[in-house]
Structure 1
């Protein structure tokens, strides 16, 4: 059956036995080092991607036309109406 404990598990608590802990001890440092390397590579990829995406200046050279006060008031009114409809 799937839930039968192995000989390296305590049958009452399902924890590893001292023999299993002794068998795994030599590999602990290598496993932790491998984990740190994998986390470092993954974190580096995420950091590089985030920094690359933050440099998006495609439209920095496109001038924004000025807006007059009447048009700005109209846009604010429309925004407030939409906000009240949602609430």
Structure 2
């Protein structure tokens, strides 16, 4: 017993679409292709714009908190010790 009932629009042996399924889908092919092209273009455009915009940003407006020389030396020592521990 199958979990899902057998579709009458697919051949049970090869799982290919039957001629009825091909005929039913034919009127929608170009409309679906155009919709896919439009949505893909919008998506790619948004990603391209975002990456190009972020590539130009220098992040000068982000404040960097000041650090004392003692804290900097401590951080360098921790970094070097963790680097040596990995090797």
TM-score by length of 2: 0.65
Structure 2: runs of 5+ lacking an equivalent? 61-75
- Within a 5 Å distance, the mapping from 1:4-83 to structure 2 comes to 4-59=5-60, 83=83
> Which 4+ runs in 1 deviate beyond 6 A?
none
Structure 1 unmatched runs, 5+: 60-74
> Number of aligned pairs?
72
For residue 70 of structure 1, what is the aligned residue in structure 2? none
The root-mean-square deviation of aligned C-alpha atoms, in Å, is 2.4
How far residue 56 of structure 1 moved from its aligned partner, in angstroms, is 1.1
TM-score (norm 1): 0.65
**Offset at 1:82?**
5.3
